[in-house]
Structure formats: structure tokens, C-alpha cells
Amino acid sequence: MGKIYEYQVLRVDLTKEEIKRETITGENVKNYLGGRGLASKILYDEIDPKVDPLSPENKLIYATGLLTGTAASTGGRYMVVTKGPLTGTIASSNSGGFFGAELRFSGNDIMIALRKV
């Protein structure tokens, strides 16, 4: 499997003040293609459906897409995905600027913020 099917994930625990790095490989990366898809899959797998969106158990996921950090016209885009308080379902927002590209240039593709509300 080539490097294109690997995503580097940074888990930032704001309560414990710890940072862990892991690699996601395999079918999830191929099937969900990063950005909103992969971030939604991570949230779906890691959050209990009954979790209160405003509780410390919820996660805030920043995810780059396939073109983030490239010369493409959409190369500055990234997604923020969480369980939203309005509907209690997956909520996502697409943003632009330098953050997504800088996250990718730092060697990471996804950043997950945990705890501390």
C-alpha cells in the first residue's frame, strides 16, 4: 500500500496536555478520501450516539482534503467536524486560509481536539 493511503493523525488532549500521533491506513482512507468523509467516519466510530454535544466526550476534528496544501485553487481548504448541539448529529464546516495547508505541511493530515470544555 502506497503512502497516498496513509493519513497522519494528531490527537491533542487539552485536559491532560498530551499530544499523540498515529497513522490511519487501509480501507477507511481509500473509502472516505480525507476531509469531511474521513473525519465523519472517525467521529462516527469514536463517539457514542448518546454523548451530549457540549460535553468533554465530544471531539472537534480538523481534517485536510486530498488537495489541501497543493497549488490547486482549493488547496487552502479544510474541514471541521464535530457532533453539533443544534441537531445532535454530525456537523461540519468547510474553511479556508492557511491553517489547512500548515497542518498538512507540519506532516499531519488530521487534528483531533479532545476534552476540556
pLDDT at 39: 95
CATH class of 3-114: alpha beta
Sort strands 110-114 and 6-13 into parallel, antiparallel or unpaired: parallel
pLDDT at 117: 57
pLDDT at 115: 84
pLDDT at 3: 60
**What's the whole-model pTM score?**
0.90
Positions in the chain whose pLDDT score sits under 50? 1-2
pLDDT, tens digit (0-9, with 9 covering 90-100), for 3-28: 667 899 999 999 999 999 999 887 87
Domain boundaries defined on the chain: 3-114
DSSP the chain: --GGGEEEEEEEETTTTEEEEEEEESHHHHHH-SHHHHHHHHHHHHS-TTS-TTSTTSEEEEEE-TTTTSSSTTTT-EEEEEE-TTTSSEEEEEE-SSHHHHHHHTT-SEEEEES--
